[in-house]
Amino acid sequence: MRFISMITSAIFVIFILSWVYFNYPETRSFLNDFIARKKFNTLEVNYSAEAIMDAHKKTLLKDSHHTFLEPNLKFHPYLLMEVKFNRSFDKTGEGIILWSLVDGEMVINTNSWDMTHGFKDCISYGADKDDFKIINALTSRGGILDRDSLSKILNVDNEVLDNWIDNCRRKNLIVQNGNNYRLHFQNPRLQVMPETKLDRSIVTKSAKSESRITKRYRSSQIENIARSAFGNNFAIRKKTEIFLPVYSIVVQNPDGSQMTTHFNALNGKEMSQTLHLE
């Protein structure tokens, strides 16, 4: 009887843990991180901290009273997705997308590290497929259109169009100026091919001596926004989490204060000042 009771209790515990795992993305993400805490996939470092400091010495050190402190290497999480999509009317494209799990934007090219701008807000405000019909229509026409033009492009009933427009306005995705509607983003960059130009090696790294930046977004949020943005013919075939190595270069100022800049270890270039770093 005691053996049967132990088996029953074990089955019950396994059932509860399985239910929590499959119904709570945060718990699933935590467990996956815990399991993979010792090893993780990362893009390969191409530049040393010393090479970057030497290349930017004149800019970072204003005079002899400014000195470099010990640099720090951190790893920023990205979601790598293998995808397929309509490249043209009669051709299917296959490629990969690299999407930041920290700032919510997609990488367009790993050489320059050009990124989109606007997807972060779309995630934050809960943009869905219908919202992106309005967003994509505006983006394709320079970011501003009147209602009649939207109606002709989208070819839907007036009631449906009004509902889509109202939802976008309520979510602060678009604003109305008279009879015109425009995207509510500063310098939006949303009309891109769903593909990252990636020519860098992916290696396995030990997490012992390195630190990983905390994710701000779940993988499911990135997947949902990508599907909404890129349409019905966009499909995610496979996904995995990888990391970008980033150097924190610290300069000691004469007054005792410190200035920290962040450099991409792949291309040796300074990261955007708007990048969230924790």
Task: Give me the residues paired with residue 95 across strands.
Answer: 83
Q: What does the pLDDT read at residue 87?
A: 84
User: Half-sphere exposure of 114 toward its Cβ, with a 13 Å CA cutoff?
Assistant: 11
Whether this prediction's pTM lies above 0.75 is answered by: yes
User: Half-sphere exposure of 159 toward its Cβ, with a 13 Å CA cutoff?
Assistant: 0
- What does each C-alpha distance from 53 to 69, 74, 111 come to in angstroms? 10, 16, 19
Maximum distance among all Cα pairs of the chain, rounded to whole angstroms: 80
Q: What does the pLDDT read at residue 276?
A: 46
**What is the torsion angle, in degrees rounded to the nearest 10, for the CA atoms of residue 190, residue 202, residue 112 and residue 93?**
-40
pLDDT in tens, the chain (278 residues): 565 666 666 676 676 767 666 777 666 666 666 555 567 888 889 999 999 999 999 999 988 889 999 999 999 999 999 999 988 777 898 999 999 999 999 999 999 999 999 999 999 999 999 999 999 999 999 899 999 999 999 999 999 999 999 999 999 999 999 889 999 999 999 999 999 998 767 777 665 545 888 999 999 999 999 999 998 899 999 999 999 999 999 999 989 899 999 999 999 999 875 454 44
Q: What does the pLDDT read at residue 209?
A: 46
In terms of Cβ atoms closer than 10 Å to its own Cβ (0-12, 13-18, 19+), residue 61 is: middle
